[in-house]
Amino acid sequence: MEIVRFVDIAATSAAVAATSGRKAKIELLAGALRRLDPGEIVAGAAYLAGELRQRQTGVGYASLRDRPEPAAEASLTVAQVDAAIAEISAVSGAGSQARRKQMLGALFGAATAPEQLLLIGLFGGELRQGAQAGLLAEAIAAAAEVPAPTVRRALLLAGDLKIVAEAALTGGAPALAQIHLRVGTPLSPMLASSAPDVAAALLATGTPAVVDTKLDGIRIQVHRSGDDVAVYTRSLDDITARLPEVVAQVRALPLREAILDGEAMLLDETGRPRPFQETSSRAATRGARAPARRKSAGGGESAAGQSPDTAGPASRIPSAGAHPEPSGVTSGAPSAGGLRPYFFDLLHLDGVDLLDEPGRVRWAALAESVPGAATVGRSVAESEEQAAAAFAAALAAGQEGVVIKDPEAPYDVGRRGSAWVKVKPRHTLDLVVLAVEWGHGRRHGWLSNLHLGARDPQSGGFVMLGKTFKGLTDELLRWQTDRFRQLAVADHGWGVTVRPEQVVEIAFDGVQTSPRYPGGVALRFARVLRYRDDKPAGEADTIDTVRAIGAGHPPAPS
C-alpha cells in the first residue's frame, strides 16, 4: 500500500468542502480512507473528520498567525505530520513555549499552501468541510465494504470515529463486532432536544411521560468495576482525579459493576444548588487536569459568564435511607462544599448491557440498585398540569428545569432526539454593545465577539456583563462588521470599542456571580437573538434588572 501524502488529505478535504452532494462527499472520503496505510488510519481518519488525534496541543491562534512561507513542493506524509504534532503536544516545562513555536514553524515550513490551510483548521478546531460524523461513518463503511449500520453502532459504543475507522479498515465487520459497551470505556451520552414549554415537550414524548429534574450541575458518566471508579465528562474527558468526593460516594453505593449517567453539583447547607460556575470550577481545578476540550466554533472566543471560583471540603456519603425531594436533593441538610453525584440512568449492570432496553426497564434497575438519595427527582406525568407542577417545583428548588422523557425509548447513544426533551425558562434582555472583537478561524476578518453592557441608571453609563459570539449567522456577522466599523471610536488590534448605541436582544439561561466584571454578575450561555434597531440605548435593560434575575426575582413583564 502506498504511503499517503498529507497534501492528498488536504486535497480531499478541500474537495469535500467544495462538493454539495452527500454521495459524492462519501465517495471522496472513502477513497482517501482506502489509501491509508494501517499505521496511518487513526491520524488520517481524524484529519478527514476535521480534528487532531491529540486532544491537547498547546497551540493557540496567536501561534498560527505567525507562520513561515509555505513550501513550494509537497513532502509531508500523514505519519510525519502525526509524529510532529505528537511531539509538539508533548512539550512542557521551562522554555516550552519557545520550543513549541520552533517545532510548529518547522512543520508549517515543510507544508505547502493547501497543507497549511488544513493544519490551521485542524489546530484551530474550525475545519468547515461538511464531513460530519454520520457522513464519515458511511465513508468508513464504503471503504471497508461493511454495512453502514454496523459502523454506526460501533461508533455509538466506542464514541471515537478513529477507533472505528481502524477496526473497520483493518478487520472488517468481525473487528467492529468486537466493539461493545465496556466498563471503563466512556461512550457518547444521549442528549435532550429543547422545547419552549412542557406542553411542547409532551407533544414530542407522548404521555404518560417521566419528568426528571434538570439539575444545575455538570454531566458525568461514572464507570465502576469493584473498587475501580472512573468519572467522565459529556465530552468523554477523564476527570476522575478531579472529583475524589464523587469517587468516594460511588464506591459507597451497593454496586459491583455498573455504568451510570447523571450529574454532579455543589450544594449549600440548606441543600440548594450552589451557582453553576462554582460546580464547574470545582470540577476543573480539583486534582489532576484531564485533557482540555477543543475550542468552540467562534475561534476560542470567550462566552459570557465564565469565571473561576473555589469550593470547600468533600461532603458525606448520602445514607441509603434518605429519599429525594422533588428537586432531586436529599431532604436532610447535607454538608456544603462537596460535589455530590445524582444519577438518572443505568447503562450497564453486572455484565448486562441495558442500552437497548426501554427507559422504564433501565430506570427500574437504577431504582433497585442505587439509593434514592443518589438519584435525581423523578415523577410521572399523564397531563400537562402534572408536568407543569414538576417544572415549577424544580425551578423553586433552584434547579435548571426538567427533562421530559419517553419511558419506552432505548438509550440513544450520542444522539439528540425527541425521546428526551428539556424545558428551561428562557430569559431575554435588551443590552448595548460596548466593544467587538475580531473573529478567528472561519470568522477571520469579521467583527465577532460582542461585549455586552446593561444600562446603569445611577451613573448614566453601561456595566459590562460579559461576551458572546453565539447565535451569529454569516449574514449577521457581515451586517455587524459594517455596523460596528461605523460606530468604532478606537481600534485596539484585538477589536474595536464602539459608541454605546446599538441594542441587541440576548437570550441566556441565567445570571451568575463573576469577579471579572465591574457589576459582579455575568450572563450564562448568552446568545444573540436579534438586533433591536427599533430601540435606543436609553431604553436598554438595567443592571438592576439583571441582578434581580440573578437573585431569582425577575421583574414582571411590562
Cα separation, 451 vs 497, whole angstroms: 9
- From CA 470, how far away is CA 477, in angstroms rounded? 11
Task: Check if 214 is active-site.
Answer: yes
Q: How far apart are CA 36 and CA 243, in angstroms?
A: 40
Handedness of CA 514, 518, 519, 524 (dihedral sign): negative
Cell numbers for 273: 444548588
Q: At a CB cut-off of 8 Å and minimum separation 6, what does 94 contact?
A: none
| C-alpha–C-alpha distance, residues 51 and 47, integer Å | 5
- Active-site position among 25, 101, 162, 214: 214
| 328 contacts 342 by C-beta, under 8 angstroms | yes
Q: H or E stretch including 279?
A: helix 276-285
Give the C-alpha distances (Å, rounded to integers) separating 269 from 110, 312, 336, 338, 418.
Answer: 59, 12, 5, 11, 37
DSSP 381-438: ESSHHHHHHHHHHHHHTT--EEEEE-TT----TT-EEEEEEEE---EEEEEEEEEEEE
Cβ 164 vs Cβ 158: under 8 Å: yes
Active-site residues, by number, are 214
